[in-house]
Amino acid sequence: MTEELSRLSVRKAVGLLGSRQISAVELTTAALERLHQADSLLHAMVTVTADDALAQASEADRAIGSGRTSALTGIPVVIKDNMCTRGVRTTCSSRMLENFVPPFDATVVARLKGAGAVILGKANMDEFAMGSSTEHSAFFPTHNPWDLSRVPGGSSGGSAVAVAADECLFSLGSDTGGSIRQPAGFCSIVGLKPTYGRVSRYGLVAFASSLDQIGPLTKDVGDCALVMNVIAGHDPCDSTSVADSVPDYTRSLERDIRGLRLGVPREYFVAGMQAGVEAAMRAAVARLEELGAIIDWDVSLPHTRYALAAYYIIAPSEASANLARYDGVKYGYCHMDAGSVWQAMERTRQFGFGPEVKRRIMLGTYALSAGYYEAYYLKAQKVRTLIRREFDAAFQKYDALVTPTSPTVPFRIGERLDDPVQMYLADVCTLPINIAGVPAISVPAGFAGGLPVGMQLIGKPFGEEVLLRIAHSYEQATSWHNMKAPAPGSLDHAG
């Protein structure tokens, strides 16, 4: 029984805790047991804080006992390891920050703690969130629970696997070009990238500051709405977070989708898309139509084809500036065996950063350097305007757009590691959304050859409620979200 507890959705667990059918310590113990059993094969976690978690769970039980509960009291959560946690190391899965212990909590972490959540630890990721497979972690790759020989997606691969394998009840990830949605799709869970500015980035280690956004990874859409209620909202510490009031996102689950206008942009059914993914997508859109949505298959967003190139100029440019701070002086790795200050800095960055981070710093530095700035960076920012205008025009006609989350099912570990361009293509359906700054959610939409397929719903700026409403209606009409990955080590994996 106890191991089953960690399979619960957040809302079910909140109910059972509230009616005292289970205790927070029982729930956290179950999640930790599951984590210890599964993670030796999956490697979703960089740091597990079991003692702290059990202490937080005891506190949650006391709060429940005295009737002082909040939205997430006693709920075990995992945090991507690029969000600062006071007193708990925050590595970004990089040698550069391997021993960095932040003196403060990121705003989202403070909000989760304030809502009573129990933090189990920190999840593995591509180094500094640069990657699409979690293979670029400086520590170890994370494995997909649906097939251990395959990647879980990335960069929030550890956060996605921890949820899919029931090592926790939900997790937080960050999404710069698809890093929440693509691993959510690859692991058959729900992942939301909110509108840029909806969730505070304070305490999120910066990658590309105009694109980064934090969001939830959950077992179902209702949990996603509940977690958004806790993490969304203005933060004086992040001047790019907006002051608009936060709705009760769980209310958006109450309505059906009859009469909603959904567009299916043909550019997202790209060359190289797998037949099984396309078939699953067509079936999913047909299901939305049965639920009463008005589908338009004849939508074109022609600038989509430039999004990948624009993204891989903008994101590395911002990254090269953001990562200039890692100089071995104030915090982080420091190469001691060096002569001059410049040599020390170069050696620190040579040994502190892995190959993908170096690649992006080089690319960004080049795009920003004298003589190339206009041809690359400025050009990409102008194309960004065109892409955003295209989305704005589409949302005059449609309530949301429907696309695959990824053109393929999870690929094999190692398959794309030495070919950066192939790796970058894994985000071709998700990164236009970050360029435009609009919200998008990935929901489980079936399987192709036994591997998960995700459906992406894209919404207007601050239109998360409509996305949750569509996603929830679809989820109610399907059973994909109830299907569980085979337990690692079980007979299902032995063959």
Partner 1 sequence: MKLSREEVEHISLLARLGLAEAEKERLREQLSNILENMELLKETATDDVPPTTQSIALQNVFREDVARPSLGSEEVMANAPQREESSIRVRPVLE
Contacting positions for partner 1 (CB under 8 A): 100-101, 103-104, 196-197, 210, 236, 239-240, 242, 303, 305-306, 308-310, 312-313, 320, 324, 327-334, 336, 338, 340-347, 349-350, 353, 355, 358-359, 361-363, 365-366, 369, 376, 378-386, 388, 420-421, 424, 435-438, 461
DSSP state of 251: G
Q: Which of 80, 113, 193, 219 is catalytic?
A: 80
Amino acid at site 273: M
* Nearest distance in Å: CB 462, partner 1: 10
| Residue 323: burial class (beta carbons within 10 Å; 0-12, 13-18, 19+) | buried
Phi, psi torsion values for 146, nearest 5 degrees: -80, -20
Angstrom distance (rounded) from CA 255 to CA 87: 43
Q: Kindly report the number of other CB atoms within 10 A of residue 259's CB atom.
A: 9
Catalytic site includes residue 159: no
Rounded distance between C-alpha atoms, residue 109 and residue 231, angstroms? 9
Q: In the complex with partner 1, which residue's Cβ is closer, 114 or 236?
A: 236
Distance between CA atoms of 77 and 92, rounded to whole angstroms?
Answer: 18
Least separation, in Å, of the C-beta of 336 and partner 1? 8
The token duo for 323 is: 């990562």
134 backbone dihedrals φ, ψ, rounded to 5°: 65, 5
Q: Would you say 288 and 470 are in contact if contact means Cβ atoms under 8 Å apart? A: yes
12 is catalytic: no
> Within 10 A of 3 (CB to CB), how many other CB atoms are there?
14
Annotated catalytic residue, options 6, 93, 137, 179: 179
d(CA 416, CA 182): 15
Choice between 11 and 122, CB closer to partner 1: 122
Encoding tokens for residue 88?
């708990």
Judged by beta carbon, residue 87 or residue 292, the one nearer partner 1 is 87
Burial class (CB in 10 A: 0-12, 13-18, 19+), 421: exposed
Backbone angles phi, psi at 212, to 5 degrees: -60, 140
Whole-angstrom distance, CA of residue 369 vs CA of residue 364: 8
Cis (ω within 30 of 0) for the bond into 155? yes
Identify which of residues 2 and 239 has a Cβ nearer to partner 1 in the complex. 239
Q: How far apart are CA 404 and CA 471, in angstroms?
A: 13
Q: How far is the CB of 361 from partner 1 (least distance, A)?
A: 5
Give the nearer residue to partner 1 in terms of CB position, either 40 or 350.
350
| Element of type H or E holding 25 | helix 24-42
Structure tokens at 410: 């999870």
Residue 152 CB, nearest approach to partner 1 (Å): 24
- How many residues are listed for the chain in this entry? 495
Q: Please list, in sequence order, all residues whose beta carbon lies within 8 angstroms of the beta carbon of residue 66, skipping any fewer than 6 positions away.
A: none
User: Could you tell me the smallest distance in angstroms from the CB atom of residue 366 to partner 1?
Assistant: 5
56 and 119 Cβ atoms separated by less than 8 Å: yes
Q: Distance between CA 92 and CA 319 in Å, rounded?
A: 14
Catalytic residue among 155, 171, 188, 252: 155
Task: Give backbone dihedrals phi and psi of 392, rounded to 5 degrees, phi first.
Answer: -60, -45
What are phi and psi for residue 367, nearest 5 degrees?
Answer: -65, -25
- The smaller minimum CB distance to partner 1, of residues 278 and 327, is found at 327
DSSP state letters, 295-323 = EEEEE--GGGGGHHHHHHHHHHHHHHHHG
Does the active-site annotation cover 19? Answer: no
Which residues participate in catalysis according to the annotation?
80, 155, 179
